[in-house]
Structure 1
Amino acid sequence: MEVTMDPLFLAWSYFRRRKFQQCSDICSKILEDSPYDQAAWSLKTRALTEMVYIDEVEVDQEGIAEMMLDESSIAQVARPGTSLRLPGTSHGGGPTAAVRPMTQSGRPITGFVRPSTQSGRPGTMEQAIKTPRTASTARPVTSASGRYVRLGTTLFEYIFHHENDVKNALDLAAQATEHAQFKDWWWKVQLGKCYYRLGLYREAEKQFRSALNHQEVVDTYLYLAKVYQRLDQPITALNLFKQGLDHFPGEVTLLTGIARIHEEMNNITSATEYYKDVLKQDNTHVEAIACIGSNHFYTDQPEIALRFYRRLLQMGVYNCQLYNNLGLCCFYAQQYDMTLSSFERALALVANDEEQADVWYNIGHVAVGIGDLTLAYQCFKLALAFNNDHAEAYNNLAVLELRKGRIEQIGDLQSSYTAAQRSEDAFPEHVDTQQLLKQLRQHFAVL
């Protein structure tokens, strides 16, 4: 006797295994026979939503519209240490902390790529147009709850995430909140999410605050902190995270939020301490391990940084960036036998031209360190072949051109000056390039 599985149960099985397309197809067949089957409708909307779901807790990048039409800023020049857009000077120790590379917005390069740290706030219209937007999330989805069993909540998630129709999602959330007599914290959070998407940050703040008055939930603290970060109020966000830790001691996401803000404000020492607190709660937290390792590298402790990156390898992290960092750590820790093999692995794992350019640039940096200037020149040229806007490669090429012959040779100076100018065009705030240009202009004045 042949036994057939119930179609709805099979669809649910596909959903649990994250095979969302198969789940949606089976639900569609069920709805052809039973158009009013609410369970099938609910499961199908959930499957379609999960296909495009992005964790709204993560702070996203500011686009050119937010940059140029920012109506929420009060002071044009914020006090030091109170703004994410004008981070203060580094508080980290170590002799090499001052040479930690920065983004074009002035933030330090972090050890872990997040949506808010991909490229920072674009400085010009041209940079904003060239800046890629990301839809990736740096940590697991957090907002799933038991309310998904209700068709109203799944319908909202479908409209909000899959259809990206914020206006209708806002109308649905407003009616649901009114129907619940303004006592349902979940619908207030959804209202806040809609207001945030529409750029109405103060209205979003009111909804999240009201939701916290009804129910203390970790995600609500994260959403509200996201609002304050968009309003450029990092101190308020820090206080909110600490308030959340009073109700949820040791919560990893709240500790990570505090560490991220300190890192974006260039307070690396405090950020590292909070990342260490994260590891006390979760010793497999990839972001914390990567950021602590990065900090040890830039404070002239490559041997310690190497331990953290090896830990990531043991955890199964296997990508171009990790092997690139391993190669640099091995070189500065004088483990030369592992340096080139790490860079070879990095080149084998590159996913795009920008990664390829960064790896070749670092190989060129190693070549400079061992005195092989010919290899270094070729590596920097390869870096520019893959990324024509690589400011550091232009800068180092200018230095190599300057070293080629006697200072009095006009040809070498002109080649060096041309490369330095291209570096300045790619990254106007690059300090090393500005110093090199100043030096070259002095040589031209003497000649």
Structure 2
Amino acid sequence: MGLEMELLLLAWSYFRHRKFQLCADLCMQMLEKSPYDQIEWILKARALNEVVYIDEIDIDQEGIAGMILNKNAQVPRPGTSLKLPGSNQTGGPSPAVRPITQAGIPITGFLRPSVQSGRPSTMEQAIRTPRTAYTAYPITSSSGRFFKLVMALFEYIFHHENDVKTAVDLAALSTEHSQYKDWWWKVQIGECYYRLGMYLEAEKQFKSALKQQEMVDTFLYLAKVYISLDQPVTALNLFKQGLDKFPGEVTLLCGIARIYEEMNNISSATEYHKEVLKQDNTQVEVTACTGSNHFYSDQPEAALWFYRRFLQKGVYNCQLFNNLGLCCFYAQQYDMTLTSFEHALSLAENEEEVAEVWHNLEHVAVGIGDMNLAHQCFRLGLVNSNNRAETYNNLAVLEMRKGHVKHMGDLQRSYIAAQKSEAAFPDHLGT
């Protein structure tokens, strides 16, 4: 008995220190001797869920259902849809200065999971694109051990095994057993419906759960449904209702700011970013977005101050030093410009990141009037990534200034080919 307790404490220690695979393996060893021990069974299920942990609220990968809805939807009014964002409402530079996506949405200063993975452009890609692992919902306290076991089983089926059909059946039976009074199970059914693309059914479940128990996560899930239905105004109203119940909640404020960013209302997004920083000045996403907004509002000194805060937090990567180099250059702190770009090149993890750094060095060389250095930067950028449309275009402009018309024509053809194969990259990386 003593040895089993020591092994259980060791497994729990592995779990607390986020060594989830070691925890699961140790629990499996204990279960081989005692297959019906519920504590080890629950701990193993939680550990396996945590191995594949990704925050599901931030994941918004469009599947077949979303593509069908978008295909059949009518053209919305500007400012009421994320598919047709409104015009820039700031007093600063126009969207032509700030890089934007093909959908017209401005590039933010933070690379979120939803934009990192990208959306499938065809039905075949939506079918072939594998679903990533989803977040494990924290196990809540319950009056009976039976419900804890069922909750752990549901989470394992839904998050680890990705068997949505079995998970929704189990959740429906559990909801019926609780006489439809358990808000947690309604949220889980809503998650299953959302995963299956049944947004209206998911909306009903989340609304019913909110009537029983108002939780921040439920507001976030319901807002995600409205965003999938391309109803950003409804999502904004929901977030504001949530703020009435949970004043100063950072996740709700961030949700409002994200929607305003995607609607190209940068001024309103900036106001909510400021409110987030008042509540939590260590929030990474808002710090990066605020620095990006200052940079594109012709305030590189202020942007530099925000990006330096990441160095104080211990962030040390290519994207950060790339941004620092640009801010130093436009703030006329030339002594730190090349040093920052050297750090960025040394920290680049792949050829695309190297090409991004050389692309920004191109602008530095053009800014100081050194066209030979700019030409070399263009060439080095294409060596690392030969499908960058912007680099071909800029190199063609340099060849035109030199009078090399033949070279300019070849580069323009390469520019058109690159533009067809892949959209132009922004010159300002997100942190």
Q: 1:134 to 1:157 in 2, by over 3 A?
A: closer
CA deviation map 1:1-41 (0-9, x unaligned): x9996221221111111111121122112111111111111
2:336 aligned residue = 338
CA distance in 2 between counterparts of 1:415 and 1:19 reads 54
Computed over aligned residues only, the root mean square deviation of the Cα atoms, in angstroms, reads 2.7
- Percent identity of the aligned residues? 65
CA distance in 2 between counterparts of 1:25 and 1:3 reads 16
What displacement does 1:132 show? 9.1
Larger deviation: 114-123 or 172-181? 114-123
Question: The residue matched to 1:70 in structure 2 has which SS?
Answer: helix
Q: One-letter code of the match for 1:9?
A: L
Question: The residue matched to 1:118 in structure 2 has which SS?
Answer: helix
1:23 aligned residue = 23
CA distance in 2 between counterparts of 1:198 and 1:39 reads 32
8 Å contact kept, 2:389–2:416: no
CA distance in 1 between counterparts of 2:375 and 2:292 reads 27
2:40 aligned residue = 40
Q: 1:354 to 1:152 in 2, by over 3 A?
A: same
8 Å contact kept, 1:97–1:298: no
8 Å contact kept, 2:359–2:381: yes
Structure 1 segment 381-400 matched on structure 2, within 5 A: 381-400=379-398
What displacement does 1:236 show? 0.5
1:425 aligned residue = 420
Question: The residue matched to 2:211 in structure 1 has which SS?
Answer: helix
8 Å contact kept, 2:388–2:425: no
The answer on 1:414 being equivalent to 2:412 is no
Structure 1 segment 323-362 matched on structure 2, within 5 A: 323-362=321-360
8 Å contact kept, 1:402–1:413: yes
8 Å contact kept, 2:392–2:412: no
What displacement does 1:352 show? 2.2
CA distance in 2 between counterparts of 1:313 and 1:428 reads 31
1:70 aligned residue = 68
2:309 aligned residue = 311
- Choose between structure 1 and 2 for higher RCO, CA contacts under 8 A separated by at least 6 residues: 2
Question: The residue matched to 2:222 in structure 1 has which SS?
Answer: helix
The answer on 1:220 being equivalent to 2:222 is no
Question: The residue matched to 2:57 in structure 1 has which SS?
Answer: coil
What displacement does 1:90 show? 1.1
Match of 1:144 among 138, 141, 165: 138
What displacement does 1:117 show? 2.6
Q: 1:122 to 1:156 in 2, by over 3 A?
A: closer
8 Å contact kept, 2:53–2:136: no
8 Å contact kept, 2:137–2:155: no
Q: One-letter code of the match for 1:285?
A: Q
8 Å contact kept, 1:208–1:220: yes
8 Å contact kept, 1:80–1:86: yes
CA distance in 1 between counterparts of 2:24 and 2:238 reads 40
Structure 1 segment 96-107 matched on structure 2, within 5 A: 98-107=96-105
CA distance in 1 between counterparts of 2:55 and 2:190 reads 15
8 Å contact kept, 1:104–1:429: no
8 Å contact kept, 1:97–1:299: no
Count of equivalent residues: 420
CA distance in 2 between counterparts of 1:248 and 1:258 reads 14
1:435 aligned residue = none
Structure 1 segment 358-369 matched on structure 2, within 5 A: 358-369=356-367
What displacement does 1:71 show? 2.8
Question: The residue matched to 1:199 in structure 2 has which SS?
Answer: coil
Match of 1:192 among 190, 193, 205: 190
Q: One-letter code of the match for 1:424?
A: Q
CA distance in 1 between counterparts of 2:68 and 2:350 reads 33
1:10 aligned residue = 10
In structure 2, stretches of 5+ residues that fail to align are 427-431
What displacement does 1:360 show? 1.1
CA distance in 1 between counterparts of 2:406 and 2:217 reads 61
Question: The residue matched to 1:57 in structure 2 has which SS?
Answer: helix
**Runs ≥4 in structure 1, deviation > 6 angstroms?**
131-134, 428-431
What displacement does 1:178 show? 0.7
1:91 aligned residue = 89
Q: One-letter code of the match for 2:140?
A: G
Q: 1:61 to 1:389 in 2, by over 3 A?
A: farther
CA distance in 2 between counterparts of 1:212 and 1:287 reads 27
1:210 aligned residue = 208
CA distance in 2 between counterparts of 1:340 and 1:136 reads 40
Q: 1:145 to 1:25 in 2, by over 3 A?
A: closer
CA distance in 2 between counterparts of 1:205 and 1:77 reads 23
8 Å contact kept, 1:399–1:416: no
8 Å contact kept, 1:326–1:342: yes
Q: TM-score, normalised by structure 2?
A: 0.90
The answer on 1:372 being equivalent to 2:370 is yes
What displacement does 1:427 show? 5.2
CA distance in 2 between counterparts of 1:134 and 1:156 reads 18
2:429 aligned residue = none
Q: TM-score, normalised by structure 1?
A: 0.87
What displacement does 1:153 show? 0.9
What displacement does 1:430 show? 9.8
CA distance in 1 between counterparts of 2:382 and 2:295 reads 25
What displacement does 1:144 show? 2.0
CA distance in 1 between counterparts of 2:37 and 2:332 reads 67
8 Å contact kept, 1:255–1:278: yes
8 Å contact kept, 1:104–1:123: no
8 Å contact kept, 1:105–1:122: no
CA distance in 2 between counterparts of 1:276 and 1:111 reads 15
Q: One-letter code of the match for 1:291?
A: C
2:113 aligned residue = 115
In structure 1, stretches of 5+ residues that fail to align are 432-447
1:281 aligned residue = 279
Q: One-letter code of the match for 1:338?
A: M
CA deviation map 1:160-200 (0-9, x unaligned): 11111111111111111111111110000000111111111
CA distance in 2 between counterparts of 1:3 and 1:157 reads 29
The answer on 1:261 being equivalent to 2:259 is yes
Larger deviation: 279-288 or 351-360? 351-360
